[in-house]
Amino acid sequence: MTSIVDMGFLSLIIQFLLLLMVLFGVSLISKGQSGKHCKIISLAVILQLISVLIFMSAEMASFLEYNFGSTFLVVLLWLHHLAGISVFLLVIYIRLALSGRMMFLGNPYRWMKITLVIWILTFIGGVMIYLYVWQGIRLI
């Protein structure tokens, strides 16, 4: 039987692999392979959503309900949560705009770069939460 700590570590490994997948997808653009890029990014987002539902939703609800941890942890959880939601919303917006169902507000590549930066920051926040909650390491 796996423990909660093991599940947290498994989630962290999955998040790292998904981030590598996204970075690989980004690298395909410079090679002129936008079709493969779109497929890989779409798959990464779907897998990310599944991962969030499996690993993170119940944990977030528990932390919010029982108010575990310090004020720093609560703020970090909320920032991580809101950044993650913004990544999903931006990906949906980009997909709708690329398909012609919405108009882009500005340069589409700028929105993609912003989404990537937020995804990376969300990952870093997730690592900080993992270290703080499961390993007792406080980075700040």
The Cα-based distances of 17 to 44, 124, 136 in angstroms read 9, 13, 24
pLDDT digits (tens, 9 = 90+) for 9-53: 888 999 999 999 999 999 999 899 999 999 999 999 999 999 999
Is the pLDDT at 5 greater than 70, yes or no?
no
**What tokens does 118 get?**
């937020």
Contacts 24+ apart (CB under 8 A), 57-66: none
Of the two residues 118 and 66, the one the predictor is more confident about is 118
pLDDT in tens, 59-95: 766 766 766 667 888 888 889 999 999 999 999 999 9
Residue 73's pLDDT is 83
Say what the pTM is.
0.85
Dump pLDDT digits (tens) for 48-57. 999 999 888 7
In this prediction, residue 41 carries a pLDDT of 95
pLDDT over 60 (residue 2):
no
Q: DSSP letters along 100-125, please?
A: TSS--SS-HHHHHHHHHHHHHHHHHH
Cα(60)–Cα(41) distance, integer angstroms: 25
Work out the number of other CB atoms within 10 angstroms of the CB of residue 19. Answer: 19
pLDDT at 64: 66
